[in-house]
Amino acid sequence: MNKKRMQLQDYMASEQIDVVYLDNPNTVAYFTNFESNPHERIVAYIVTQSDDFLFVPSLEKEEAREQSNVENVYTYRDEENPWGIISEKTFERIEEINLVCTDEASLTVARYHQLQEAFNTTNFEDIGPFIDQMRVVKTQDEIDKMIIAGELADEALQIGMDSLVEGITEQEVAAIIDMEMKKRGVSEMSFSTLVLFGDHAASPHGNPGERQLKQNEFVLFDLGVIYNGYASDATRTVAFGEISEKEEEIYEVVLNAQRTAQEAVKPGMRAGELDQIARQVIEDAGYGKYFNHRLGHGIGKTAHEFPSIHGSNETILEPGMCFSIEPGIYVPGEVGVRVEDCVYVTEEGCQPFTSMDKELATIYR
């Protein structure tokens, strides 16, 4: 029995929602196990209070039937009008539709107009917050996949460190990491692999470029892979040759903040408190103004989801929640250091998905 679908239908019954229409590929896969990348075509999961069906382009029919846990899979050919079929299949299950819910954050306006006609109502509400709430606590099965995604991220970090040599560019290192991961069966990284050298790492969202590696500077890796539809995300900063005393001090402050926060995780605490704990360590060391982003973000089917770990988030941490702990110090034009592990909350504390050593690694080559 599909527990996620039941949880959704219980909610639909309590809120008198007649139809839920979902077409964000990640959300569809979350409920149905069917992973897809439909581009402009429609892959939709449609749920009524007593039934459900999956609607896919006919070229995806076999995969959808094999992978998904949904009994009824309907298809449309490119020359057909998909909305007519959606309307027909939905009205086979329900006579009258008074309230439809969609995920407003991902539904396009064009599709919204089509759905009003297909379902013959203009009464639409947002189901997004409820689904975010469902997705925030992971099942053991989801966590098991994320553990393997984490192990692969550890491997990717090691590959990156092993590839460092004077003169290599950031892009070259990123390409080596991505290629080696592909050889290991990873079809997709969680996001574009980040490799930044020296002062370039001072911008937290910099892009790997033509910059060449010099002796005696930091290298920042931020990467993750998708494994069976679940993401990993980890950052390590390592020294290539001898770094300055100030750089070493900055590294120790970031590491201390990261570890202090990771050790403080407990079910029952506020998410915001965790951000404050890490921030306090960095402020006490005098670098507060150089930590200019939240402590972390939730992770699961995508590298960024709920809960957001920022100072004013009142969400209470529960076992099964998964998020990153990634403090950083960025001194513009000079140096950037970040250390990141993603963790899942347990009954006692938390467990990290990645286990690459966090003591400052120095590479002489």
Binding site for Mn ion (CB under 5 A): 222, 233, 235, 324
Q: How far is the CB of 156 from Mn ion (least distance, A)?
A: 12
* 222 or 247: CB nearest Mn ion: 222
Query: At 264, which helix (H) or strand (E)?
Result: helix 245-264
**Radius of gyration for the alpha carbons in the chain, expressed in angstroms and rounded:** 23
* 83 or 191: CB nearest Mn ion: 191
* 8 or 223: CB nearest Mn ion: 223
Q: How far is the CB of 104 from Mn ion (least distance, A)?
A: 25
* 23 or 222: CB nearest Mn ion: 222
Question: Beta strand 341-345 with 328-331: parallel, antiparallel or unpaired?
Answer: unpaired
Contact 28, 43 (CB under 8 A): yes
* 90 or 324: CB nearest Mn ion: 324
Nearest to 236 by CA among 342, 308, 331, 311: 342
Q: HEC string of 45-56?
A: EEEECCCEEEEE
* DSSP reduced 3-state for 25: helix
Sort residue 72 into left (φ over 0), alpha (ψ -120 to 50) or beta. beta
Q: How many CB atoms lie within 10 A of CB 267?
A: 16
Q: Residue 181 and residue 196: Cα distance in Å, rounded?
A: 19
Q: How far is the CB of 324 from Mn ion (least distance, A)?
A: 4
Amino acid 333 reads: G
Q: How far is the CB of 222 from Mn ion (least distance, A)?
A: 4
Q: How far is the CB of 308 from Mn ion (least distance, A)?
A: 11
* 60 or 222: CB nearest Mn ion: 222
* 97 or 223: CB nearest Mn ion: 223
Nearest to 156 by CA among 354, 359, 361: 354
Phi (first) and psi of residue 104, to 5 degrees: -65, -25
Q: How many CB atoms lie within 10 A of CB 332?
A: 11
Q: How far is the CB of 304 from Mn ion (least distance, A)?
A: 7
Residues 6+ apart with CB under 8 A from 39: none
Q: How far is the CB of 211 from Mn ion (least distance, A)?
A: 19
* 87 or 324: CB nearest Mn ion: 324
Q: How far is the CB of 340 from Mn ion (least distance, A)?
A: 5
